[in-house]
């Protein structure tokens, strides 16, 4: 079944955290490569860089530079090997779908822009499953008929 991840899923794959075993098991069982978009890659890389910065300013927050650099290197390795592939995205249609989702759900449920964009991307790419550990984003994906197996 075709599945689209969000940043929380990528973080669980590339950094040890409470839901990493679940993400790794799902990833290992996938019949093909993990499909991502350039937007998702950008958000993940930016999040890692931001966590490095947080840690530099407060050791109780974020994570060390070496850990962040390893996360980015591991992702790059998976992209080079083809275990993760970048797929083209129909951005005008995704933006229209995101606007529809925003209008339907944001006031009642408080969804953030990137969360809406990721769900809209999954829908427009014809994905059946949405991979997230974010509870609010899970609600949005399920409201739109996506299966959230995690």
**Terminal CA-CA length for the chain:** 14
Q: Count CB neighbours of 9 within 10 A.
A: 27
Across the range 109-122, mean pLDDT stands at: 93
For the domain with range 3-143, which CATH number is right: 3.40.50.300, 3.90.1520.10, 3.40.50.1010, 3.30.70.141? 3.40.50.1010
Q: What is the pLDDT at residue 104?
A: 92
* Token reading at 51: 């966590």
Q: What is the pLDDT at residue 60?
A: 87
pLDDT digits (tens, 9 = 90+) for 67-97: 999 999 999 999 999 999 999 999 999 999 9
Cα dihedral 15/16/22/23 (nearest 10)? 10
Q: What is the pLDDT at residue 98?
A: 97
Q: Count CB neighbours of 26 within 10 A.
A: 19
pLDDT digits (tens, 9 = 90+) for 48-72: 999 999 899 989 888 999 999 999 9
Query: Is the pLDDT assigned to residue 1 strictly greater than 70?
Result: no
To which residue do tokens 């005008």 refer?
92
Range list of H helices, the chain:
7-14, 20-29, 38-57, 65-81, 91-101, 107-109, 113-124, 135-143
Q: What are the sequence ranges of the domains in the chain?
A: 3-143
Across the range 28-49, mean pLDDT stands at: 95
């Amino acid at each position: 079944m075709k599945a689209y991840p969000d940043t929380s899923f990528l973080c669980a794959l590339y950094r040890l955290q409470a839901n990493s075993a679940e993400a790794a098991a799902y990833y290992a069982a996938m019949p093909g490569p993990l499909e991502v978009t350039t937007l998702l890659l950008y958000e993940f890389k930016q999040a890692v860089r931001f966590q490095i910065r947080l840690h530099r300013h407060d050791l109780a927050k974020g994570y060390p530079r070496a850990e962040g650099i390893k996360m980015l290197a591991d992702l790059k390795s998976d992209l080079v090997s083809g275990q993760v592939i970048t797929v083209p995205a129909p951005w005008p249609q995704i933006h229209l779908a995101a606007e529809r989702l925003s209008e339907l759900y944001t006031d009642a449920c408080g969804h953030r822009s990137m969360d809406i964009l990721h769900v809209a991307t999954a829908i427009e790419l014809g994905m059946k499953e949405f991979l997230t550990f974010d509870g609010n984003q899970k609600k949005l994906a399920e409201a739109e008929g996506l299966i959230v197996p995690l």
